[in-house]
Structure 1
Amino acid sequence: MSDAKQPNEEVNWEELRPQLVKLVLELGPLVLFFILNSRAGIFVATGWFMGAMAVSLLLSWVLLKRIAVMPLVTGVVVLVFGGLTLYFQDETFIKLKPTIVNMLFGSVLLGGLLFGHSLLKHVFGDVYKLKEEGWRILTWRWCIFFFVLAVINEIVWRNFSTDFWVAFKVWGLMPLTLIFSFALVVPILTKYAPNAEEG
């Protein structure tokens, strides 16, 4: 009995390890940003955030042998807008970063859909197997979600304190993304899998 379970556990850990590494690499810079903002202010936090993002991308390449498109684009925007924040000593730039990143992702997905392409399939096609309709629905949902996140970021940074914005960026957006994924993404992965029963 124990011999039968052991291989399954090993396979599960092998499948889970890259996802856990990705989660740590994505959350690490954000948590550091939150801690340093509360202790040293937004400008010191931004400088360390930029460095942590660069290290995160490097570690992703070393540990996972690849850098995913979304973290790479996010990292580049962090470096650009973080640099502008420090150069002009104006926190508006780093606060605009989530708006710009989410608008960029949403616009790219929307552009692909308008031309009849589900771009998520090109990014995740080697991970998930879906029918074409599933890819189209999944892309629409992520497209809308990115635009919603951009609007939320604009509302929060324009109407609340910097400390509140940083806390929301770290502890609010991740739960929102997880809720979205479980509520609106996971069912698509099940319903439109190639072996899913019709109707």
Structure 2
Amino acid sequence: MSDARKSDARKINPWLKAALEFGPLILFFLVFSRFRDHVVSFGGRDYSGFILATLVFIPVLVASTLALWRLTGKLAPMQLATLVLVVVFGGLSVWLNDPKFFKMKPTLIYLLFAGLLGISLALGRNWLQLVMSEALPMRAEGWRILTIRMVALFLGLALANELVWRLMSETAWVNFKTFGLPAIMVAFFVLNARLFERYALPRDQ
């Protein structure tokens, strides 16, 4: 990585970064937990606690994403895609007073990224490596293996989200989204630690 790129990368306090990334999701969970058994009237319409939590979540996510961009000078592609889909599908859920659009959003995100990673493999251009090589310096073969595994992960998460929101309660889906999905992602990278070690570049590179 060039010195210019190093200078462009602005570091922020990791606790602040975590608060901006996970704060909106935690707030969504708290609002839903508080109002899940209530009906809230607004503008002459009745809304469930889920729709109210979605209405709160959208502007808070927009604000936190903008704050991350201002503080770090960059946003990951997944952050941008998440923001767009939250605004579109969360907005549809609030506008139509129907929670299913917001519940479908994780499925679409995971299918989108599985498709993009699969296309990058087919084209011989590893886009995952371009995005994450700064954080995980590995040889090309390691990136190819990780990309294949991440395609499988995203497809599995898309299927899991569909099963949970269609077959289980609203509370179960909120718990799955708030705690289950992040835990699965963390576990995935922990389980791939040996891959990172095996294909790591020498320290001088």
Residue 32 of structure 2 aligns to which amino acid in structure 1?
A: N
**Alpha-carbon offset, residue 27 of structure 1:** 1.2
Residue aligned with 2:136, SS? coil
Q: 2:186 aligns with which of 147, 155, 178?
A: 178
Instruction: For structure 2, list consecutive stretches of 5 or more residues without a partner in the other structure.
Output: 1-9, 36-48
Unaligned 5+ runs, structure 1: 1-14
Q: Give the secondary structure class of the aligned counterpart of 1:76.
A: helix
* Aligned twin of 1:98: 106
Shift of 1:193: 1.1
Q: Which residue of 2 is the match for residue 194 of structure 1?
A: 201
Give 1:123's aligned residue.
Answer: 131
Q: Output aligned runs, 1:5-44, within 5 Å.
A: 19-40=14-35, 41-44=49-52
2:62 match: secondary structure: helix
Question: How much has 1:116 moved relative to structure 2?
Answer: 1.4
Partner of 1:9: none
1:44 partner SS: helix
Partner Cα distance (1:21, 1:141) in 2: 30
Given residue 86 of structure 1, which amino acid in structure 2 is its aligned partner? V
Secondary structure of 2:125's counterpart equals: coil
**For the Cα contact (< 8 Å) 2:12–2:71, is it kept in 1?**
no
Residues 29 and 53 in structure 1, CA contact (< 8 A), matched pair in contact too: yes
User: Shift in Å at residue 115 of structure 1?
Assistant: 1.3
Q: How many residues align?
A: 181
| Structure holding more helix per residue | 1
Q: Tell me what 1:148 maps to.
A: 156
Counterpart of 1:58, as a letter, is L
C-alpha separation in 2, matches of 1:107 and 1:136: 15
Residue type at the aligned position of 2:198: K
Calculate the TM-score normalised by the size of structure 1.
Answer: 0.85
Among the aligned pairs, what percent are the same residue? 38
* Closer/same/farther in 2, CA of residues 111 and 65 from structure 1, 3 Å limit: same
Corresponding letter in the other structure for 2:137: K
Q: Is the 8 A contact 1:156 1:165 kept in 2?
A: yes
SS at match of 2:104: helix
The 3 A distance-change label for structure 1 pair 131 and 18 is farther
Q: What is the TM-score when the length of structure 2 is the normalising length?
A: 0.83
Q: Would you say the 8 A contact 1:18–1:64 is kept in 2?
A: no
